[in-house]
Amino acid sequence: MANDKLQNTNNGFTVVELMLSIGILAILFALTTINLGRLPSSSAQSATIDVLISDIRAQQTQAMAGNIDFGIHFDSTSYTLTPSNFVVDLDPGISFSNVTFLGGDLNFSAGSGETTSGAFSIVNDQINQTTVVNINKYGATY
């Protein structure tokens, strides 16, 4: 009987402990939801940059392998691969700005694949993010 008096019969959590746990979980959920809302817009910009860099490399490779110039013409919400005149539209909310190539044209010379150095910015209006892409005369992007 002496052991029965020493044994604690109160099992479970108090209301304060439950409220504190629920509060912490609510804060974590709110922070996660806010950050996940920006993810699709950010990934759209990254995908746009990846596709564009790939197209730049392909145009340079074709110029090096062929006997005609290849290039890309930049518009505000699209770019055109030349000489095929294939137009690539950017995702909504994404645009080009500050294109420093003469006439908005990035041209690769036949045989060598060289170009003039320049830069352009890709702007994502949805998350207010701007990425600057520089291209040197050898077509390297940085």
Is the pTM higher than 0.95? no
CB 125 within 8 A of CB 105: no
Domains and CATH numbers, the chain: 41-135 (3.55.40.10)
pLDDT digits (tens, 9 = 90+) for 22-49: 999 999 988 887 766 666 667 888 899 9
pLDDT computed for residue 8 by the predictor: 61
| pLDDT tens per residue across span 124-139 | 998 899 999 999 999 9
pLDDT tens by residue, 3-22: 555 666 667 888 999 999 99
- Contacting residues for 46 by C-beta, under 8 A, at least 6 apart: none
Q: Is 9 exposed, middle or buried (0-12, 13-18, 19+ CB in 10 A)?
A: exposed
